[in-house]
Amino acid sequence: MRYAETGVNLEIDLSRGNIERVETDPRDMELYLGGQGTAAKILWDRVPPEVDPFSPDNLLIFSTGLLHATPVPAANRVAVNTFSPQTNLMSHSLMGGFFGPEMKHAGYDKIIIRGKAPDLVYLYIHDDTVEIRDATHLRGKGCTETGDILKKELKDDRVQVAAIGLAGENRVYTASIDHGHSSAARGVGVIMGDKRLKAIAVRGTKDIHVAKPAELFELCMHMHQQIGGSDGCGDWMAVDEDDSFHHDNFAWGNARTRRRGFWSKELEERWRRLKYDHMDRQTSCYNCPKKCRNVISWPGRKRFGYKCYGKDTYHMAAFKELDFTYDILGVAQEYGLDSYSTPQVMAFALELYENGILTDKDLPGLPADSGDRFFYLMEKIVRREGIGDILANGVSLAAQQIGNGAEKYDHNTIKRFEQLPIKLGKLNPPYFLMIATGEKMAITQIEGSFPQDPLPTMEERQAFVDKWEAVPNEKFKQYFLEWEKRNDISNEASCAITDWNEAMHYIDDSIGLCGFVSSFRGQFGGEIAYHINNIPDFLTLATGVDMTKDKLWECFQRIRTLVRANNVRRGMRRKDERPPEDHWAVRDEAFEQKLLDDYYAFKGWNKEGVPTRETLDKLGLSYVSEDFLRRGILADTEKNPATETSVESEKK
């Protein structure tokens, strides 16, 4: 019997209309856990670098986390992975809600989709019933509208639907996949649209087996109390009213300016009233005691939900206030547009217009008001009309296509992908590394375990570390105690801190835990729900595999290195790992390059950022090293630089 996982993947070939149930190798769970971990292995095995993201041979993978549908609280983040046409690299997308656990209850760990349907279809799954159905009647429908229609059509309110809107249908690169008030964004909706798959509707009624049910249930009841208590985490992302950090330290427009002093107590109170006057409720995801998402009913718009920075992106890009976001966000979500990249694309277009690179000929009938301009551009982009056909490819590719100096206004991309528009003074070295070397969709999928800034006094630092139970090693407490200035921290500490931040997210994204109950809470201290020291207990009781902290850390290293290998095989190298110039006002090229050297050595990568043969073989990835040798990516004589550097000692 398989514990925690179902042991079955659902394989769908839309070109042939073929449906198969495929048993999986239980050893893959022990090596790669689940979720994005096993998805990375499937993409490596089945999508070689010669496959274009728009090829029928590219895969779109919906993955449950290893702990989905078990009693473990807050295990609900479904992973969606593919290769992105915007970056040509592996896309890491996550969404909460109920979709992942419902997949597991239907009997499937993954839904793996290849090929392209002749016309728009949707996938219907109800336990052993799996059908590819016509969806032409859903063409042009919004994301939540599609879900509502299918629930009525299927006569089942409990079916869980993930759908694309008009943006996905038209292969807009910033298209998202939406489920309820959750989104899998940042490069996956475009592939779902390319495959002409409008939606997946899933209903599951099967049991999930765990190895030690009584012991796991007792541990989970304790965790419910901890997460739900005042020292837990989650709902602060929705209810925290002081948003001064984002507004004072992030760029407005595309990445042009920082509006220091914009935030005030008067503004905070005005926005608080605006929110609560229009908020229906706050909702949770599957099996989570926290309510992280605000659900807003705005006059004349379809109801929508958001949490955290998603509420800020549109009004900051348009130099507006929260009421503008509330007016546009519901429309954008129905179209299935990513709320991180899309506002930056629009602001980029307006910046080009203000500087004469785009003209009235490119933007005929452009309104005068900045808010109206955003609605104008949104319609152009989702329909790929006129200049919208270029802007739909994202800032970096659009800048190349437009030319005439447009590249100068590509302020905020790395690896051709829009980043959060950070605009700070002096560089924070671990954050430099996370942004430069990160291969997820944003810094928010990497950061969180270590504070962003030091505390001013030794007494405050000591109080912080005294209750810091999430640290994997006591050395992190010492790093924090000795840290006095944001930009003044040793390279050794920066490498280790970045590694720990990555570890928690790669583990979360494989077992299905929400980062807001583990990865993201570490930077605030206090009682942390899940961390590297207690996650092995949950995995052992759920799967029956004796999981230890060291084994779990090795799983992280294997998964993270395999993701790296997927992208290296597609051409990613050191030259691509340069954070946007505008992120920090003060830059030191020599320091940054030495920091990058040290981090590559720490990870067991060569000077180009390619994992060495020694590193790959040590992690059981010899099939990767053999491929790299065959392709000339690695030389047979290449040594691991980490064995010749003092940074290696920081891993131990």
Which amino acid, one-letter code, is at 22? V
For the chain, domain boundaries: 8-203, 236-418, 424-651
Query: Quick check: 5 and 35 in contact, CB under 8 A?
Result: no
Q: 160-176: per-residue pLDDT in tens?
A: 999 999 999 999 999 99
Spatial neighbors of 315 by CB under 8 A, at least 6 apart, are 321, 322, 323, 324, 325
Look at residue 648 and tell me whether its pLDDT is greater than 70: no
Look at residue 233 and tell me whether its pLDDT is greater than 50: no
pLDDT of residue 649: 39
Tokens of 375: 């609605």
Give 180's pLDDT tier (boundaries 50, 70, 90): confident
Spatial neighbors of 273 by CB under 8 A, at least 6 apart, are none
Where residue 64 falls (left for φ over 0; alpha for ψ -120 to 50; beta otherwise) is beta
Greatest CA separation for the chain? 68
Look at residue 571 and tell me whether its pLDDT is greater than 50: yes
pLDDT of residue 520: 78
Helices 322-335 and 265-278, packing angle to 10 deg: 40
Residue whose token pair is 């208590």: 229
Give 598's pLDDT tier (boundaries 50, 70, 90): very high
Options 1.10.569.10, 1.10.260.40, 3.40.190.10, 3.30.930.10; CATH for 236-418 is 1.10.569.10
Radius of gyration of the chain (CA): 23
* DSSP conformation class of 471: -
Tokens of 43: 């993409």
Residue 509's Cβ-side half-sphere holds a number of Cα atoms within 13 Å equal to 31
Give the whole-angstrom CA distance, residue 384 versus residue 369: 22
Q: Which segments within 177-231 are labelled E, that is strand?
A: 177-179, 182-184, 197-203
Q: 601-627: per-residue pLDDT in tens?
A: 999 999 999 999 999 999 999 999 999
Give 636's pLDDT tier (boundaries 50, 70, 90): confident
Q: Comparing C-alpha atoms, which of 555, 591, 338, 575 is closest to residue 437?
A: 575
Give 241's pLDDT tier (boundaries 50, 70, 90): low
Helices 429-437 and 589-603, packing angle to 10 deg: 70
**Cα–Cα separations (whole angstroms), residue 437 to 191, 388, 498:** 24, 31, 10
Give the whole-angstrom CA distance, residue 418 versus residue 484: 31
Length of the chain (residues): 652
Give 642's pLDDT tier (boundaries 50, 70, 90): very low
Q: What is the mean pLDDT of residues 618-638?
A: 93
Q: Comparing C-alpha atoms, which of 469, 481, 479, 415 is closest to residue 443?
A: 415
- Could you tell me which CATH number the domain at 424-651 has? 1.10.599.10
pLDDT of residue 643: 44
- Could you tell me which CATH number the domain at 8-203 has? 3.60.9.10
Torsion sign, CA atoms 385, 391, 393, 399: positive
Q: Are strands 8-13 and 110-114 parallel, antiparallel or unpaired?
A: parallel
Tokens of 384: 């790929």
* Side-by-side strand order, sheet with 60-63: 18-23, 8-13, 110-114, 60-63, 78-83, 90-95
Give 291's pLDDT tier (boundaries 50, 70, 90): confident
pLDDT of residue 290: 86
Give the whole-angstrom CA distance, residue 526 versus residue 465: 9
Give 189's pLDDT tier (boundaries 50, 70, 90): very high
**Cα–Cα separations (whole angstroms), residue 527 to 182, 423, 502, 522:** 27, 30, 20, 9
Bridge partners of 175, per DSSP, are 337
Query: Quick check: 394 and 345 in contact, CB under 8 A?
Result: yes
Query: Quick check: 22 and 63 in contact, CB under 8 A?
Result: no
Q: Are strands 182-184 and 129-134 parallel, antiparallel or unpaired?
A: unpaired
